[in-house]
Amino acid sequence: MKKLARATIAGVSMLAIAAPAFAQSAVKQVQDSDFVAAQADLAKIIALQPNTGKAKNVILFVGDGMSIPTITAARIFEGQQKGVDGESNKLSFEALLPYVALSKTYTHDSQVADSAPTATAMVTGVKSVNGTIGVTQAVKYKDCASVKGAEATTIFEQAEAVGLSTGVVSTARITHATPAATYAKIANRDIENDSQLTDADKAGGCKDIAAQLVDWPAGNGFEVILGGGRSNFMLKEQADPEAADKTGARTDGRDLVKEWQAKYNDGAYVWNKAEFDAIDPAKTGHLFGLFERSHMQYETDREKDKAGEPSLAEMTSKAIDVLSTNPEGYVLMVEAGRIDHAHHAGNAYRALQDTVALSDAVKAAYDKVNPEETLIIVTADHSHVFSIAGYPKRNNPILGIAGTADDKKPYTTLGYMNGPGAKVDEPRADLTNVDTQDPDFLQQALVPLGESETHAGDDVAILAQGPWAHLFQGIVEQNLIYHVIAKATDIAAKPAK
């Protein structure tokens, strides 16, 4: 019965609620394969019944920069990698999560958002200011003194207060904007370690993001922290364990890894794949993993990592195993942070591969939980200026050539409005003899922007299943995500522990 939760069929046969039958004489295409498939899809939709139970667990998946074209292209990319029809393929979250809405990603001060206020919106329920984390619209960007009185309480702080376990997993630095939104309050998202604090920041009362994580006062702290960003927790005198010629970044004398270890008798700190694999969730009350000095590897490059890194799916599975030891339940954020970075680089291959890795993580989570009592949400913080264009034939490689332009040169199906794929005062490159499916190929762009393509302002998708997932419908404000989670968990009504 576990798998029925995706459609919650309340004891009613699928045949009894099947889509209407069509007389052969009235509708001539009833034997067409697409027609038959659509009838089956309709029957599944008719069978859906809202789940209004209480959510014991919540898992919020964030594909950083996962625009709707990214989902479409990744769907085709995954299918073609598997040797099946890409266009009709489904990523795991498309197949498993039946409720869908569109999320409006603008912020309090900007048409086009960055990851800091959008993540804040999802975990606090308010729209804030670009470049700031964990604060309301009352804050002033880069004005540390303005944070006081503008702090916003996160769903993770609420969860800890009522005895739920909490976790944050990311392939980016754990001090980066999206994961940091679960715990930090700061007027400048770039202050990830103390060496980035100015005298004015210090005078204004700013504390760097890494220190805020280790000093986080909510409950007994995160039960799971897994990601990158090791240098922000290490002293500048400390050699990195994976790269002896590199050191930490901290100048304040605080070895934050050591401080974290001292806080928890049941804690385990890991920095490589072997240590991660050796963790016994039944014996680990707190797990802290930092697998890179900065961001973790792209999924495409992960197997080449010197010390080894777990995949996003493996980190998600381990996080659930640790968090599930709490009978009260948990709230977990899982971020595929490097979709965004690949798009900024104009590198569609790695963006799509990391989107597929997110799909794998969603499937791993779904298979571990009871979906009747777990609210699973998959969304993005913002989009990118990434497009699918031309008139390529069905089953044409998604990373391939779509056609020939008026300049007599081939152009690819995938491209960017701006970014490093365009060069100032240079004509568009001729792709005739270029392998556009190479992982290192950078898609062409229209507007030259040096090393980094920009975010875009279009809506992104929200897909969900579980208790109260049906509240995601229509076109909604991004900060509604927090309010649905709060409703599903009834967290405000829980007594403090």
Task: Identify the CATH assignment for 57-385+463-493 out of 3.20.20.150, 3.40.720.10, 3.40.1390.10, 3.40.710.10.
Answer: 3.40.720.10
Q: What is the pLDDT of residue 13?
A: 44
Most distant CA atoms of the chain, gap in Å? 82
Gap between the Cα atoms of 159 and 145, Å rounded: 28
3-state secondary structure of 397: coil
Could you confirm whether 115 is annotated as catalytic? yes
Gap between the Cα atoms of 268 and 339, Å rounded: 29
- Residue 179 — pLDDT band, cuts 50, 70, 90? very high
Gap between the Cα atoms of 286 and 449, Å rounded: 43
Catalytic residue among 67, 92, 115, 383: 115
Q: What is the pLDDT of residue 8?
A: 42
Gap between the Cα atoms of 434 and 255, Å rounded: 48
Helix (H) or strand (E) holding 171: strand 165-173
Domain spans, the chain: 57-385+463-493, 394-453
Helix (H) or strand (E) holding 331: strand 330-336
- Residue 465 — pLDDT band, cuts 50, 70, 90? very high
pLDDT tens figures, 274-302? 999 999 999 999 999 999 999 999 999 99
pTM of the model: 0.95
Q: What's the mean pLDDT in 459-482?
A: 98
Q: What is the pLDDT of residue 19?
A: 58
- Type of residue numbered 486: A
What residues contact 383, with CB distance under 8 A and at least 6 apart?
65, 66, 67, 68, 69, 70, 105, 455, 456, 457, 458, 459, 460
8 Å CB contact between 454 and 112: yes
What count of other Cβ atoms lies within 10 Å of the Cβ of residue 252?
14
Q: What is the pLDDT of residue 6?
A: 40
Q: What's the mean pLDDT in 371-400?
A: 98
pLDDT tens figures, 338-369? 999 999 999 999 999 999 999 999 999 999 99
Helix (H) or strand (E) holding 411: strand 410-412
pLDDT tens figures, 83-131? 999 999 999 999 999 999 999 999 999 999 999 999 999 999 999 999 9
